[in-house]
Structure 1
Amino acid sequence: MIKVLIVDDSALIRSLLKELLSKEPDMMVVGTAPDAYAARNMVNKFSPDVITLDIEMPKMDGITFLAKLMKARPTPVLMISTLTEKGAEATLKCLELGAIDYIPKPKVGVAEGIEDYRQLIIEKVRLAASTKVKPTRTASAPIKEQSIIGGTEKIIAVGASTGGTETIKTFLISLPANAPAVVITQHMPPGFTTTFANRLNTLCKVKVTEAKGGERLLAGYVYIAPGDIHLGIERSGADYRTILIDSERVSGHKPSVDVLFRSVSQSAGQNAIGILMTGMGKDGAAGLYDIRQSGGYTIAQDEASCVVFGMPGEAIKLGAAVCVCDIKDIAENVFDYLKKTGSGTRL
């Protein structure tokens, strides 16, 4: 039985979440708290398996409470986040502090919105209950620029979902300013990806931006798929350019890692480097296999460093990964491969 504690200053949301989760045979809501102080007492009393935590609360906000909780009693936490720029910034901070994932809070029509998210909420609570809270990790030292083979034409494609914001950050912080172009699909709603890209851009030596479509892929640049649209690449003469594809969900997602990886496989072939990181489900597994089949180099994040081993685990089962390694070692692994292979060619 999964013991859930609901922490939210909205009586309506507390009631709706309690009603929704209590209907599940494997879940029990052990308490609901209107603020962090009441929540602290309930954590000590009930030892919940999962906490749903509102970010904006009186007396003590969710970020402050989360930071204290992770030091005193690490527990799987799902943030309740508004789909706004301010909400995105706060949510990313919470994921950095150790929250497992987040649940969108409807802007209007709360009751209807919660019902629309019913299956998503249930899945995320179950997932959080099965997840071990991982301590925050410092990134590896950045790779020196002179260690890169000059003129390389490789394209690095990265896919991630649950837990991916921190693993992507760990990887990108390790990259030197003249790294090959990187394209990324991280499962995120619209608006969050803009904030995510801007946040990474302040932390990394590479320049990080949300893809607009039509950009020439340049060394030292990272292009992140916008929420709710697929990202791919295509050849344009001797160059590669980003493309945005407004089509149906693929592998249950939009943006989809499979869409990105397949386009990279088709356009870059043996010059592609595919990296599949932490995430629930199997999006990206088949696409990573395509990259390997086309002669590209492929990496899956190992189970020990994943928040959720679903996506990379599925890729490993398919035989899609040339290498399986800890997140802190992925950047070094990529550049060891670049040194061995030397410059690629786009044509």
Structure 2
Amino acid sequence: MSIKKLSGNSSKEVKISLDQTSGVVLMLLENNKRECFLLRGPSLEECQKLSEIKDVKSARYVGSSACINLLKDLDVPWVNFEREVVDNGPGTVVYCPSSVKVKIKKITPTHSKTEKTNGVVKKKKVLIIDDSSTIQKLLTKIINSSDFLEVAGVADRPSMAKEFIENEAPDLITLDIHMPEMNGVEFLKQYLGDKNLPVVVVSSVSVAEGPLVMEALANGALSYVQKPSLDKANTLAGDILNQLEAIASKNTSGTKAQASSVVMQDFKSIDGLVAIGSSTGGTSALQQILTSLPSRIPPIVIVQHIPAVFSKALAERLDSLCPFTVKEAEDGDKITQNTVYIAPGGFQMKVAKHGAIKKIILTDDPPVNRFKPSVDYLFDSIPSLKEKNVVASILTGMGKDGAKGMLKLKEQGYETLAQDEESCVVFGMPREALKIGAANLAVPLTDMSKVIVQKMNKSSQS
């Protein structure tokens, strides 16, 4: 979850539009600069100037307990209380700095995460499939804190899950990898494949789990979240809920990774560089794109938001499916044709040129936009190569990582693409790129490989 603070160094009025369904507060600052508070929850009872609130206990905002915990760590001169935040339940808490005048305007969202029946919000129904009673309880607590989701059932084995799905028709499923009777991948393949139900894998982050998680994503799961533990439940709650809500709101079902539109032409030149950034839903999207490219390709560099122990499994799976080499990038790798380099989780990846040699550089630099690896971090390094021929693409994912870096690439004259909304699992990253004018074109996932070839060929001729 990303939280940006209100600027305290300007006395100008800040106008805030509150999307009451999604809980995203869009701030329009001076010079039309846009920033967001990404806060959860639908209620802000009255329009008022937050800077005028004098009693901390009466302050209200839109947000979860996870947000509150993160706000405690912000270095912000909060009014009347110094970095102290009181959690009185949903819809409590925080001030803006006193130097900022704030107006809040409620807006009607263009689309809703929830349906209404007779004016009452109808929450999306979630089925938890997990044989651990501890995980069941932790996930239930996290999911039921949502204004848009509720746990409708819990199953500790596939046979119980089948019965529930047939009788109750859940809107979303969380699926454990290891279960009695069969594992989660087998359950996806044998039973869920034709059910048109969005599935999120809940997995521990370990080397052993990586290949199974990648296989689940290739067979219809839309995303994965880290399995919560008693000591990390509060830390992970916000990210888990954000992913589940985003996927449930899309009203999309899982589909197996499939071939994209047939690429009718080869790359006329395999010089230059293709750069791709992706997040939620990206592993399947990457598989569709890479397996549809010609056998001879220019170098491709990829940042997929992924845990450290999963990036190698992703690279190995894609390598087994493609005629060219796909590898987890290593520091100092020489960037060569017919090779795809996937940023390792837990590192920042950039490209650099040493004489005539282009190399991969891995660093332990801080997260950018909360991510490590970060798409912006990679994109920002590309102009240093002084390549004539570059195509950059942003695929499905939450947040806005990559948009600013892509805008810089566009300003350098490079071709820039964003996955279109209809084919995204989550439209956050491509939406931001299109919103700020960073992407030249919105492209359906099934056409992305073909368009990449076309744009590279066009650039090589100019």
Q: Secondary structure at the match of 2:452?
A: helix
Deviations along 1:247-285, whole A, 9 cap, x unmatched? 111112111001011111343454321111111111111
In structure 2, the residue matched to 1:304 is: 422
Asked which structure has the greater CA Rg, the reply is 2
Change (3 A) 1:137 1:44: same
Q: Secondary structure at the match of 1:85?
A: coil
Q: Secondary structure at the match of 2:225?
A: strand
For 2:423 and 2:146, the matched residues in 1 are separated by: 30
Contact between 2:177 and 2:202, CA under 8 Å: does it hold in 1?
yes
State whether structure 2 residue 452 is matched by structure 1 residue 334: yes
Structure 2, gaps ≥5 residues long = 1-122
State whether structure 2 residue 245 is matched by structure 1 residue 126: yes
Change (3 A) 1:162 1:268: farther
In structure 1, the residue matched to 2:8 is: none
Change (3 A) 1:331 1:43: same
How far the C-alpha of 1:58 sits from its partner, in A, is 0.5
In structure 1, the residue matched to 2:289 is: 171
Change (3 A) 1:141 1:302: closer
How far the C-alpha of 1:69 sits from its partner, in A, is 4.1
Deviations along 1:84-125, whole A, 9 cap, x unmatched? 23311111111112112111126xxx3113332111111111
In structure 2, the residue matched to 1:276 is: 394
For 1:305 and 1:287, the matched residues in 2 are separated by: 23
Q: Count residues in correspondence.
A: 339
Amino acid at match of 2:236: Y
State whether structure 2 residue 273 is matched by structure 1 residue 155: yes
In structure 2, the residue matched to 1:138 is: 258
State whether structure 2 residue 378 is matched by structure 1 residue 260: yes
Contact between 1:265 and 1:296, CA under 8 Å: does it hold in 2?
no
Between 1:63-72 and 1:323-332, the stretch displaced more is 63-72
In structure 1, the residue matched to 2:115 is: none
For 2:214 and 2:394, the matched residues in 1 are separated by: 20
Contact between 2:275 and 2:391, CA under 8 Å: does it hold in 1?
yes
For 2:274 and 2:194, the matched residues in 1 are separated by: 39
How far the C-alpha of 1:141 sits from its partner, in A, is 6.8
Q: Secondary structure at the match of 1:282?
A: coil
For 2:151 and 2:456, the matched residues in 1 are separated by: 51
In structure 2, the residue matched to 1:31 is: 153
Amino acid at match of 2:303: T
- Between the aligned residues of both structures, percent identity stands at 35
For 1:141 and 1:21, the matched residues in 2 are separated by: 38
In structure 1, the residue matched to 2:62 is: none
Amino acid at match of 1:129: A
In structure 1, the residue matched to 2:366 is: 248
Q: How does 1:190-205 map to 2 (within 5 A)?
A: 190-205=308-323
Amino acid at match of 2:164: M
Change (3 A) 1:343 1:208: farther
For 2:293 and 2:148, the matched residues in 1 are separated by: 43
Contact between 1:139 and 1:328, CA under 8 Å: does it hold in 2?
yes
Contact between 1:143 and 1:332, CA under 8 Å: does it hold in 2?
yes
Q: Secondary structure at the match of 1:191?
A: helix
Deviations along 1:226-254, whole A, 9 cap, x unmatched? 00111110111122111112111111211
Q: Secondary structure at the match of 1:9?
A: coil
For 2:193 and 2:236, the matched residues in 1 are separated by: 30
In structure 2, the residue matched to 1:313 is: 431
For 2:156 and 2:253, the matched residues in 1 are separated by: 24
Change (3 A) 1:231 1:5: same
Contact between 1:7 and 1:34, CA under 8 Å: does it hold in 2?
yes
How far the C-alpha of 1:137 sits from its partner, in A, is 5.0
Contact between 1:175 and 1:205, CA under 8 Å: does it hold in 2?
no
In structure 1, the residue matched to 2:232 is: 113
In structure 2, the residue matched to 1:230 is: 348
Deviations along 1:281-301, whole A, 9 cap, x unmatched? 111111111111111111111
Structure 1, gaps ≥5 residues long = none
State whether structure 2 residue 184 is matched by structure 1 residue 62: yes
Contact between 1:269 and 1:291, CA under 8 Å: does it hold in 2?
no
Question: Given the alignment, which residue of 40, 51, 71 partners 2:173?
Answer: 51
For 1:197 and 1:118, the matched residues in 2 are separated by: 28
Change (3 A) 1:342 1:269: closer
How far the C-alpha of 1:176 sits from its partner, in A, is 2.5
For 1:141 and 1:7, the matched residues in 2 are separated by: 35
Computed over aligned residues only, the root mean square deviation of the Cα atoms, in angstroms, reads 1.9
TM-score between both structures, scaled by the size of structure 2: 0.70
How far the C-alpha of 1:154 sits from its partner, in A, is 0.9
Deviations along 1:173-223, whole A, 9 cap, x unmatched? 122332110000000001100011011111101201111111111010111
Contact between 1:175 and 1:206, CA under 8 Å: does it hold in 2?
no
Amino acid at match of 2:197: T
Deviations along 1:297-335, whole A, 9 cap, x unmatched? 111111122111111111011111122212222222222
Contact between 1:142 and 1:173, CA under 8 Å: does it hold in 2?
no
Q: Secondary structure at the match of 1:330?
A: helix
TM-score between both structures, scaled by the size of structure 1: 0.92
Q: Secondary structure at the match of 1:112?
A: coil
